């Protein structure tokens, strides 16, 4: 598993990368009340805002960590956005993206580096 400075986690299965937010980010957001996900088959570029998360505290955007195509979204979040607070690093993943270069994950932080980044 790899981590971004924007508090996203990335898990690779070949050229398919599953993306969600970290427990730290979910805690900072507070109770999540709405999640807007991208459409499947959407082509995205690294840095594009593609997910909107609304909580009782604020609205936040999640950007694409890599270039690729959205191949699956987590429909369960539409019905139960609170999953983000319950299991941010598991069942509350946001989308899966097919990337051309899975080695691009090497540029992201390890779990230990991420913990240092957030001061845990």
pTM beyond 0.85 = yes
Q: Residue ranges of the domains in the chain?
A: 2-108
User: What dotted CATH number matches 2-108?
Assistant: 2.40.50.100
pLDDT tens for each residue of the chain, 120 residues long: 999 999 999 999 999 999 999 999 999 999 999 999 999 999 999 999 999 999 998 899 999 999 999 999 999 998 999 999 999 999 999 999 999 888 889 999 999 999 999 987
- H, E, C per residue of 16-80: EEEEEECHHHHHHHCCEEEEECCCCCCEECCCCEEEEEEECCCEEEEECCCCEEEEEECCHHHHC
């Amino acid at each position: 598993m790899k981590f971004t400075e924007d508090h996203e986690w990335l898990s690779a299965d070949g050229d398919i990368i599953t993306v969600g937010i970290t427990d730290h980010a979910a805690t900072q957001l507070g109770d999540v009340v709405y999640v807007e996900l991208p459409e499947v088959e959407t082509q995205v570029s690294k840095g594009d805002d593609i997910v909107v998360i609304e909580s009782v505290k604020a609205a936040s955007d999640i950007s694409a960590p890599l270039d690729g195509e959205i191949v699956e979204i987590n429909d369960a979040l539409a019905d139960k956005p609170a999953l983000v607070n319950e299991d941010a690093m598991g069942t509350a993943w946001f989308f899966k993206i097919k990337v051309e270069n899975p080695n691009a994950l090497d540029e992201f932080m390890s779990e230990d580096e991420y913990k240092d980044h957030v001061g845990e």
